[in-house]
Structure 1
């Protein structure tokens, strides 16, 4: 009886495209059905690496199952589509591969293809009956996935073959416009604004609008598009009452903060409706020293208090952000009692943060002595 072939060696031969060596190994072993650690067959490996000749050899000489699923329920067609290997996709489809097979999380080959900027593969799948309206477990259809990647040609094509593809939301209420805006896909946003009928301030389940997504991710060009062509509301609030400037402070997007205040005239001290937090509070909470600097340079009130009478210093101390605490103290913010009678310093657990207060007290004492 022939010794079984080493699956790792066989996969390497497939990966490198060494058909002659692979043929010899398989003849010696007498079988080609060995699976790798993720239960990948040699077909998975050939499809993943774009080895169309080897793919055909394995199917036609060894009758390997083109519908074999690995541990993630991926078929060879998923692999070829996800890597944009058109010749492998066409071969598998020509052999009758199921075009809408599902892998883990309910992804179809068309969804996988839409993660690549390869229009021809998308076209091949659709022309063989792939359904662009199917959704994965998160509620994303192929059009939504293509919006994240931002290829305008794929979006235009999907709208041409399936005009209703844009009318979709994820399970958390996000539209393709939210997704394209978040990822800074300006060309995709242009297509969506021209061809689709999204509400100017459509909201996801957290109350976020596409404009907020663009701002909090620092995509000012997309934010401008949404303002100019979609009449987005710059002061829209999320479900916690936070506006775009607060979201930008949370993510440390200094240019976006500058854009909102200097160009759009947003009040730098505007408060979130439910908490009365200002952008300065949010930046301090997240430990963004440069954002605090930006806000103060734009005229933010360093002494602003929230509904619980907490200053930015309280939030910086609660987050144990030593650099922020040091900067706020050096900028003249003094510790104060919140509504529970707690000083910011009392929220400190980190020796580095406590040291900031000690240095501040020492510096203040030296200053008084000089006077």
Structure 2
């Protein structure tokens, strides 16, 4: 088909101009559009109509003979499009005409999962009323319940629990629970609901040993972390599989308020070591180049001259990461160019001109 005609068909469908679309299709012949896919995505006109919510166009194309289960290049059906874009009328029409409620697109996403990326309850309700399976998982092991918890709609989470009371027990392929997901994204209302309604174990860890409390803190969600402490008795010194504790994890992500919360309010040892390499929070902050976190740690009483199992100081770590500002801050705070146990000095690790300059400027 001529490219200009293809563009015209797509445009008219997207605009919902049924009269003009009918005229164009009539002139081309109905057979020319029934199996026609457009663009890089391979969408059909039915996909475009469902995505833009033009029910009258959807009805016309269906009557014309365009299959309801037609797939684009990502195996998306029109129902996926309608569910994702919150097109309730189109969702209802497709389901009543026999579209499969649990059809899978690429990465094994169902229409229900797509609808849970939004917050429109009527679409979720419609899919559930037609038998959508809450327990199905995508390729990463995420269920619709995980996705709803990530998006933060307590109403959607409550609806899914009412439909399937065991939905909360779902875990991803890495052992992450919906509580991990809600905590990670700072969804306080959802966390509150999950703690009230579900029987998660305190400090239930994923395959990396990460707890919901760790997820909340390292992403700066202090109110969620407090809730997990108060209602779930989370442990502020739990250890992940690498031996890192929350104080190390928040240093990695540069969450200064979380550091102060742990050290000042929870009395966590700022100089606690992690892993077989005996890294401190200061080592982690320096390696990531978080200059403000280095200063915060110094104010909280961090041992600036602490060495890891290889005799490296935070200055070594800042040099390894090629973080010029962090190097400057550590030199300003009094660290010197002492070698590690292999005889390597921090300055010898400097490669970038700015890092080299940071050392030279202190001499």
Q: Do Structure 1 and Structure 2 share a fold, with TM-score over 0.5?
A: yes
Q: How does 1:291-370 map to 2 (within 5 A)?
A: 291-361=293-363
Q: How does 1:198-347 map to 2 (within 5 A)?
A: 198-347=200-349
Task: Give, in whole Å, the separation in 2 of the partners of 1:336 and 1:78.
Answer: 60
Query: How far apart are 1:275 and its partner, in Å?
Result: 2.1
Matched positions, count: 359
Partner of 2:20: 21
Query: How far apart are 1:109 and its partner, in Å?
Result: 0.5
Give the alignment partner of residue 76 of structure 1, picking from 60, 78, 100: 78
Give the alignment partner of residue 48 of structure 2, picking from 45, 58, 62: 45
Partner of 1:191: 193
Query: How far apart are 1:343 and its partner, in Å?
Result: 0.7
Between 1:231-240 and 1:342-351, the stretch displaced more is 342-351
Q: Cα RMSD (Å) of the superposition?
A: 1.3
Task: Give, in whole Å, the separation in 1 of the partners of 2:301 and 2:2.
Answer: 77
Partner of 1:364: none
Structure 1 residues without counterparts, runs of 5 or longer:
362-371
Asked if structure 2 preserves the Cα contact closer than 8 Å seen for 1:5 and 1:25, the reply is no
Give the alignment partner of residue 103 of structure 1, picking from 102, 105, 110: 105
Query: How far apart are 1:8 and its partner, in Å?
Result: 2.1
Partner of 1:368: none
Task: Give, in whole Å, the separation in 2 of the partners of 1:86 and 1:251.
Answer: 40
Partner of 2:10: 11
Asked if structure 2 preserves the Cα contact closer than 8 Å seen for 1:133 and 1:165, the reply is yes
Query: How far apart are 1:274 and its partner, in Å?
Result: 2.4
Q: Which deviations, in whole Å up to 9, do the C-alpha atoms of 1:100-125 show, x marking residues without a partner?
A: 10001111101111111111111100
Would you identify which runs of 4 or more consecutive aligned residues in structure 1 move more than 4 Å? Answer: 2-5
Secondary structure, in 3 states, of the residue corresponding to 2:342? coil
Secondary structure, in 3 states, of the residue corresponding to 1:123? helix
Q: Does 1:182 align with 2:184?
A: yes
Under a length normalisation based on structure 1, what TM-score does the superposition of the two structures give?
0.94
Secondary structure, in 3 states, of the residue corresponding to 2:362? helix
Between 1:347-356 and 1:233-242, the stretch displaced more is 347-356
Secondary structure, in 3 states, of the residue corresponding to 1:159? helix
Partner of 1:137: 139
Q: Which deviations, in whole Å up to 9, do the C-alpha atoms of 1:193-213 show, x marking residues without a partner?
A: 011100110111111000000
Partner of 1:369: none
Query: How far apart are 1:3 and its partner, in Å?
Result: 7.2
Partner of 1:58: 61
Between 1:335-344 and 1:90-99, the stretch displaced more is 335-344
Partner of 1:30: 29
Query: How far apart are 1:4 and its partner, in Å?
Result: 8.5
Q: Which deviations, in whole Å up to 9, do the C-alpha atoms of 1:179-231 show, x marking residues without a partner?
A: 00000001110111011100110111111000000011111010011000000
Change (3 A) 1:341 1:77: same
Asked if structure 2 preserves the Cα contact closer than 8 Å seen for 1:304 and 1:312, the reply is yes
Secondary structure, in 3 states, of the residue corresponding to 1:54? helix
Partner of 1:91: 93
Under a length normalisation based on structure 2, what TM-score does the superposition of the two structures give?
0.96
Task: Give, in whole Å, the separation in 2 of the partners of 1:178 and 1:304.
Answer: 33
